Amino acid sequence: MLKITDFALIFGLAVVTSGCLQKDTTHTLYLGPDGGLTWIAAEANVHSDEADPGKRAAEDQSYIGPALLGAHPVARGLQALGPDTLVRTTVVREERPFHVITEARFARADRALERLFVDSGIPARVTMTQEDERTSLRMRFDFSRQTVERDTPAAALLEAIDHFVFVVPEGRFIAGGGFEVPDRARARLTKEAFDAIDESMTARRPIELTLTWSARADDSH
């Protein structure tokens, strides 16, 4: 699987590391039949593996302190995308290793994702069309235009894009240009899609990724 650092290099973004802070991260993006988006980020087993006890405690506190206030990087990143409700942070486990879940809801998935890319300095246009109970999400990256490195809350979210999983709670995915949809209920970007993005950036040409889902579970056409 493509690493976060590789993706950041593709887009010319600076990777902001957290020292020796370790965590298991999953971003689940639930796509509604009306085009809405519920974004849930789970950070589990969060802990510093710093050998020095003082530095380890300081690094642990640098994570859990802001999380308890709902001001950790994931929450700030989701807030920057303009959700339609308050970003909700749940600290499942306050002792190390920490476990934090962050949730935000958006009326339109395309607007949230476009803002994610644009605020990160990536020339992108995300659109969504609906027809005959089918919804298509198109992400077009125009690398004929200049990418601009930006250290923003949104960019911090984008660093975890290889942990993004798209889910349709109702219906099924029926097509994915650049996405793998193994069980028709989940989709994620493929390594080939990342490679194609890399090639498009080098050649300074546009590239488009498409994800289509149906509100009908038995839609196979």
pLDDT of residue 182: 84
- DSSP codes of every residue in 181-220: -TTSSEEEE-HHHHHHHHHHHHHT-EEEEEEEEESSTT--
pLDDT of residue 149: 79
Of 186, 136, 193, the residue nearest 166 (C-alpha): 186
pLDDT of residue 219: 60
Asked whether the bond before 153 is cis by omega within 30 degrees of 0, the reply is no
**Cβ 106 vs Cβ 81: under 8 Å:** yes
* 155 DSSP 8-state letter: H
Can you tell me which residue has the tokens 């300081």?
A: 58
d(CA 16, CA 13): 9
pLDDT of residue 220: 53
* 147 DSSP 8-state letter: P
Q: Give the type of residue at 60.
A: D
Q: Extract the residue ranges of the chain whose pLDDT is less than 70.
A: 1-19, 217-221
